[in-house]
Structure 1
Amino acid sequence: MPGRTIAPLPRKARRYLPAVWMRAGTSKGLFIHRHDLPAREDEWAPILLSAMGSNDSDSMQLNGIGGATSTTSKVAIVAPSHRQGVDVDYTFIQVAVGASAVDASGNCGNIASGVGPFAIDEGLVKVEPGQTEVDVRIYNTNTGRTLVETLEVDEEGHFVEEGVYRIPGVQSPGSRIRMAFEKPAGSKTGRLLPSGAPTNIVNVHTSRSTCHVRISAVDAANPFIFVDEATLPRSLRAIQPGEPQYLEFIESVRRVGAVLMGLAKSVEEAALTRGTPKIAVVTMPSLPHKTPTAVIPDVRVTAFSMGKVHGSLQMTGAVPLAVAACTEGTIVHEIAQRAAKLRHTPEVPLARVGDKETREIVIEHAKGVMPVYVEKDTQSVVSKVTLSRTARRLFEGQVVYAV
C-alpha cells in the first residue's frame, strides 16, 4: 500500500555468557557455571536457545554454536554442591535442533563425562598436592542420582586429557575417565521395571499400520524402552532405521512406552517430551568373521535420539541396557543368554568381592563395542554400573547470545 511504513523490529541486546565448549564422550556441549545464569531456572531457556542457535527453530543452528545434531546441541550446568558427600551438582539440558525448545527431563551420560574434568579445571574440586588421580562425586539434578568419576590429574592439579584409551566413535585416544553410576534403578519412575514386568506386548498405531511389538521398559540412570527387533513389522526390517517410515514407527512405540512407564498420561502428552523416555532396538550381536578369536558381544543395539538415529549409543542408554542384560525376563537378557551359548561361555560373574559380584556386558553399536560393568548384591539389586569415556576442552571464553 502506498505510503505504508513498516515498524522496525525491537532490537535485541547482545549479551555475553562465560562458557566452555567440550567434547565429552561422543557428544559435544556447552559447560556453564550455575552462577552465570539467572537464579530462576525458567529464565534459562531463551539464553540457551540463543546461544546454541535454536531460538529461530533453524535446523542448521547457524546463528549459534550448536552442531545441528542432537549429540552436539547439549548443555551442562555445574555448581558446587551443598549435599553431603557430593562435590558438584550438574543439570543437563538438551537443546532441540530445528525447534525452539529445551528438554531437562533426563540425563546424558556422555556430557556427564565432561563434568568431572570441567569441575577440576574450574577449581570446583580441590586437588591435594601429590595426587595423580581424583574421584569427583557428581549429583545429577535431572534424575536425582549420583555418579562418581575417577580421572587423572597432573602435578598442577589439572585434568590430564592425553592418554591411550579409545572409545568407539572418537578417532583420537585420551585419558580414561571411569564413570560409576551408583544405585541407578528408578531414576525417574522409582522402579527398575516401571510397567511391573520385564517384558510387555504393546499395541502400536501409525499412519500406515497397527501392530504389536515386544518391549522391555527399564529405568536405570535414564528411562529407556528396548524394542525386540524380531517383532518389528517385516516392512521395517527391510529398510534402514533412518528412513522416515521407520522413525515414525519407533516414535509411536516410544510414546506408547512412555504411557506404560507412567511418564505421560497419553501418547499426545508423550509427544511433547522427546527426550524421555529414550528408545532403542535390540537384537542378536554380529558374529565375528575376520578372526575366530574375536569376542561375540552380548547384544547389538540401534539407539535413537530426539527422533533420529543415534550415531553410536548414549551412555545413559548403555547403563539401562547392561542392567537389562542382567535382569531375568527382559528381552536384552534373553538375547545375552543366546549370545553366551554361541560363545560357549556360562553366565558367571567377572569378579566377586564380599556380597557383591560384577558382570561384564559387551554392547555392540554402529561405531564399535562398549564394555559395561554391572555390580549386583546377593539380592540381585544393581548397586553400581561402570563405564569409561574420554573428554577434551575445545574452547573457553564467552558465547554471545541475544534476548
Structure 2
Amino acid sequence: MRHQRLRAVFMRGGTSKAVMLRAEDLPADRGQWDAIFLHIMGSPDADGRQLDGMGGGVSSLSKVCVIGPPSRLDADVDYTFAQVAVREPLVDYGGNCGNMSSAVGPFALEEGLVPAPPDGEAVVRIHNTNTSKIIVARFPVAGGALAADGDFAIDGVAGRAAPIRLEFLDPGGARTGSLLPTGRACDELEAGDGEGAVAASCVDAANPCVFVAAADLGKTGAELADELEADAGFLERMERIRRAAAVRIGLAADPAAAARQGSVPKVAVVSAPQAAATLSGRRLAASDADICVRMISMGQPHRAVPITGAICLAVAARVPGTVPHRLCRAPAGPIRIAHPSGITLVDAAVGADGPGGALRARYGAVYRSARRLFEGRVLYRMP
C-alpha cells in the first residue's frame, strides 16, 4: 500500500510538541482518525521510542491537534486534542492539553483560519471540543504571524520567545459537569491494593485531576522523573488511585474501563514548597514556590507539569478543604507551582455564585510560548 499524505505542521506548545492538522484534511468519519494518528506518531511501539513516527517516546511528545472552523458563535476555531499512547494502540480524546493550546491560536492565524492583524496583539477564541470549554489566546503579531522574538522564558524550554497568554474561561466541570465531582473537597479513596484508603481531592477544572499528598505515599514530593520512574510500585499505586478516582467521579464504569482512558483523570502528588533540584541541575529554594507537584501522565512521570493540570491545581488550591489548599502557601494571588523543570506561575479565581451558592471556578490563566518548527506533509498508511 502506498503512503498517504496529509498537510501538517509540527509545533512546540509550551513544554510539549504535536502534529497540527486541519480538520478539512481528515476523513469526515472520525472512526478513521485513530489509525491515522497512531501511524503518524509511530505507535504502538513496544520499545517506547516511536522511532517509526513523529512521536518522541514520552506522553508530552506524542500528541495530535486538529483545528477547524468553529461550531459555536463564541469561538473563532474548534480545536480537538488527541493524546496518542506510546506503547499501546490507543488514542485518548478524554481531555485537553493546555501546553498545546498555546500553539492553536498562532496556528489558526498563520493558516488563515482567523484574520491576522499585520502587527499588534491577536486574540483568538478557541473552542476545545474535548472539554466544551473556551480558551482565549492573546499573543503579539509581527508581519501577520506570531512574533518570532520575545523575552519570555519557560522553565524546561531553552531560549526566549514571545509570550502567549491563555485564559481558560469558566474551567470547572470540564468533563464531569462539576468542579468537585464527588461533592466533597477531599475523599478517602480505596485503590483496591490492600494498602488502605488514601486522602485524595478530585477536582475538575480544565481537566479532571486527583491530588494526593506526597507524604501519604511515602514520597517527599521533590523527586525527579527518573527516580519516580524507577519505583514501579509507586507508579502502579498511582495508576490504581487514578482508576479508582475515575470510577468515583463517573468517568468510567469500572477500573478496567478507566485503564482504557489513560489521560483523564490526571493524577499527582503534591507537597508544601521545599528545596529541590530541577532537571537542568538548578536548585529551587522553598521560598521560590507556593506548592510542589509531581504529575503522572499516561503512566509516566511528567518532566514539567501539564498546563491543564497546573490550572486544575491552582483552582484546587483556592477551594477550602482540598489537599492542595492545605499545602499551598499562597493565600491569594498567582500561585508559583514547582515541578521537575522549574516554576510555572498560574492565576486562578474561585468564588461562590451568590450568598451560599456553589463554588465556581471563574478562570485560570497562564503564560506559555509556542513555535512553528516544520511545515509540509506527514506520511502515513492505513492498516
- Whether TM-score is above 0.5 comes out as yes
**1:240–1:246 CA contact under 8 A, matched in 2:** no
Q: Is structure 2 residue 271 aligned with structure 1 residue 252?
A: no
Aligned partners of 2:179 and 2:247: how far apart in 1?
A: 16
- Who is 2:141 aligned against? 153
SS at 2:196 equivalent: strand
CA RMSD after TM alignment = 2.4
Q: Quick one: distance in 2 between partners of 1:185 and 1:221?
A: 7
Asked if 1:387 is matched to 2:366, the reply is yes
Give the partner amino acid of 1:200: D
Map of 2:266 onto structure 1: 278
Q: Which residue of 2 aligns with 1:35?
A: 24
Aligned to 1:240, which of 227, 234, 244? Answer: 227
Q: State how far apart, in whole Å, the 2-side matches of 1:237 and 1:378 are.
A: 34
Q: Does 1:315 align with 2:307?
A: yes
8 Å contact from structure 2 (residues 336, 343) kept in 1: yes
Mapping of residues 2-41 of structure 1, within 5 Å: 12-41=1-30
Q: 1:202-227 CA distances to partner (integer Å, 9 max, x unpaired)?
A: 12233xx4222110000001010001
Aligned length: 370
- Partner residue of 1:220? 205
Q: Which residue of 2 aligns with 1:298?
A: 290
Alignment counterpart, residue 210 of structure 1, candidates 160, 183, 195: 195
Is residue 2:215 matched to residue 1:230? yes
Larger Rg: 1
Q: Deviations over 1:124-157 (max 9, x none)?
A: 110245x400111000000000000001101x21
For each residue in 1:279-324, what CA deviation from the matched residue of structure 2 results, as whole angstroms up to 9, or x when unmatched? 1100111159999998442210000111010001000100110000
Q: Which of 113, 116, 121 is matched with 2:105 structurally?
A: 116
Do the aligned residues in 1 keep the contact of 2:122 with 2:141 (CA within 8 Å)? yes
The change in CA–CA distance for 1:234 and 1:302 in structure 2 (over 3 A counts) is closer
Q: Deviations over 1:35-86 (max 9, x none)?
A: 0100111111111111111156552212211111111110000002142121
Question: 1:372 matched to which residue of 2?
Answer: 346
Show CA shifts across 1:357-402 (max 9, x none): xx21111111111111113456453211110101111110001111
Matched with 1:168 is: 155
Supply the AA of the counterpart residue of 2:91.
Answer: V
Distance 2:283 2:72 in 1: 50
Give the structure 2 partner of residue 363 of structure 1. 337
- Structure 1: state its 5+ residue gaps: 1-11, 341-346, 349-358
**Structure 2 residue runs without a partner (length 5+):** 354-358
| 8 Å Cα contact 1:46/1:55 also seen in 2 | no
Amino acid in the other structure paired with 1:186: G
Of 197, 200, 203, the match for 2:187: 200
TM-score, reference length from structure 1: 0.87
2:153 counterpart of 1:179: no
Q: Partners in 1 of 2:117 and 2:215 — Cα distance?
A: 53
Q: Distance in 2 between matches of 1:299 and 1:225?
A: 15
Separation in structure 2 between the aligned mates of residue 381 and residue 103 of structure 1, nearest angstrom: 27
TM (norm. structure 2) is 0.91
CA–CA separation in structure 2 for the residues paired with 1:34 and 1:288:
43
Structure 1 residue ranges (4+ consecutive) displaced by more than 6 angstroms after TM superposition = 234-239, 288-294
Aligned-residue identity in percent: 41
Instruction: Determine the structure 2 residue equivalent to 1:354.
Output: none
SS at 2:18 equivalent: strand
Show the 5 A alignment for 1:6-155: 12-55=1-44, 59-129=48-118, 131-154=119-142
